[in-house]
């Protein structure tokens, strides 16, 4: 295990990280003029609902419909996410982990947003290797990411790297999920994120990564809900945490967070937390 990594930031038990999906940001083609304040207020309300429901944190994620495949991101978009992230940090107070992610893979900009706004982590679609997406080829650049992380003194900003998910599959095959996780860990990831629509496959991937990278936290990238959370998270064999979205929302994907749905999700794994 790299000497500067470990698991203290996880705390005790299993992390529940609610997804806060934003409306299209300023500087993007589908931004609706005048909608920014509404988007900011919805994000704050959702973060408070997550905290009220017992979640451990949130990931604020841009959902702009179309994206650049690499680091390019409009300055207005970066500024808008920074303002939202800071507002959420101030609203939820200490002890609640706040992350931010500029999709598709604007990693350095995401690190800057989290560092300046006072958040604690970011999620990276492609830290190592490459994957195909609707935006085109998304290619990792771990040297550039880690150089920039050092430049802005952001080692306190944790990096959760996707290694097999709806956003990342190793281009061309040839590497197991454990090998991809090992590469991400060696590059500097503090945790990895994975998922599959089939629960058995997810559990097999968790076991493989655990065997290859003992001590590396594993966060589920999606596909958890109230019916499978106990299995995927509620045991020593399960993941260390999960990004949770649609099943916590009031009216499907992208709607406001329902604190009662958060409470019941957390309750399903509480005995193991």
CA 225 to chain centre: 16
CATH fold, domain 14-272, is TIM Barrel (3.20.20)
The pLDDT score that the predictor gives to residue 11 is 67
Sorted by where each begins, the domain ranges of the chain are 14-272
The pLDDT score that the predictor gives to residue 4 is 44
Helix axes 177-187, 199-212, angle to 10 degrees: 50
Task: Give the separation between CA 220 and CA 238, rounded to whole angstroms.
Answer: 10
**Tokens for 160?**
């959760």
CB distance 170 to 162 below 8 Å: no
Task: Give the separation between CA 237 and CA 235, rounded to whole angstroms.
Answer: 5
**Tokens for 27?**
């500087």
Q: Taking Cα atoms as reference points, which of 167, 135, 141, 162 lies closest to residue 67?
A: 135
The pLDDT score that the predictor gives to residue 5 is 46
The set of long-range contacts for 203-211, using a CB threshold of 8 Å and a minimum separation of 24, is 203/231, 203/232, 203/237, 203/238, 205/164, 205/177, 206/237, 206/238, 206/239, 207/237, 208/176, 208/177, 208/178, 209/163, 209/177, 209/178, 209/181, 211/178
**Predicted TM-score (pTM) above 0.75:** yes
The pLDDT score that the predictor gives to residue 8 is 56
The pLDDT score that the predictor gives to residue 9 is 62
Task: Give the separation between CA 193 and CA 101, rounded to whole angstroms.
Answer: 14
Block means of pLDDT (10 residues each) for the chain, 273 residues, are 51 88 95 96 96 97 91 95 98 96 96 98 98 94 98 97 96 95 98 97 97 96 95 92 92 82 92 52
Task: Give the separation between CA 173 and CA 108, rounded to whole angstroms.
Answer: 26
């Amino acid at each position: 295990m790299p000497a500067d990594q470990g698991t203290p930031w996880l705390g005790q038990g299993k992390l529940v990280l609610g997804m806060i999906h934003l409306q299209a940001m300023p500087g993007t083609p589908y931004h609706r003029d005048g909608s920014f304040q509404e988007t900011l207020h919805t994000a704050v309300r959702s973060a408070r609902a997550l905290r009220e429901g017992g979640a451990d944190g949130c990931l604020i994620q841009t959902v702009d419909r179309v994206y650049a495949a690499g680091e390019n991101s409009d300055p207005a978009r970066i500024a808008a996410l920074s303002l939202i992230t800071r507002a959420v940090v101030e609203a939820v107070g200490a002890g609640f982990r706040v992350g931010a992610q500029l999709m598709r893979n604007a990693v350095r900009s995401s690190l800057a947003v989290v560092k300046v706004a006072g958040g604690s982590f970011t999620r990276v679609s492609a830290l190592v290797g490459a994957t195909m997406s609707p935006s085109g080829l998304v290619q990792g650049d771990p040297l550039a990411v880690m150089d920039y992380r050092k430049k802005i003194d952001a080692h306190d900003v944790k990096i959760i790297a996707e290694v097999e998910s709806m956003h990342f599959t190793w281009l061309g095959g040839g590497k197991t999920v454990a090998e991809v996780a090992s590469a991400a860990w060696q590059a500097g990831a503090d945790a990895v994120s994975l998922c599959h629509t089939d629960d058995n496959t997810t559990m097999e991937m968790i076991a493989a990564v655990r065997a290859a990278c003992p001590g590396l936290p594993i966060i589920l990238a999606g596909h958890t809900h109230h019916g499978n959370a106990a299995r995927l998270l509620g045991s020593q064999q399960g993941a260390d945490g999960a990004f949770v979205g649609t099943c916590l929302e009031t009216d499907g994907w992208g709607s406001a967070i329902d604190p009662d749905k958060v409470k019941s999700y957390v309750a399903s794994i509480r005995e193991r937390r």
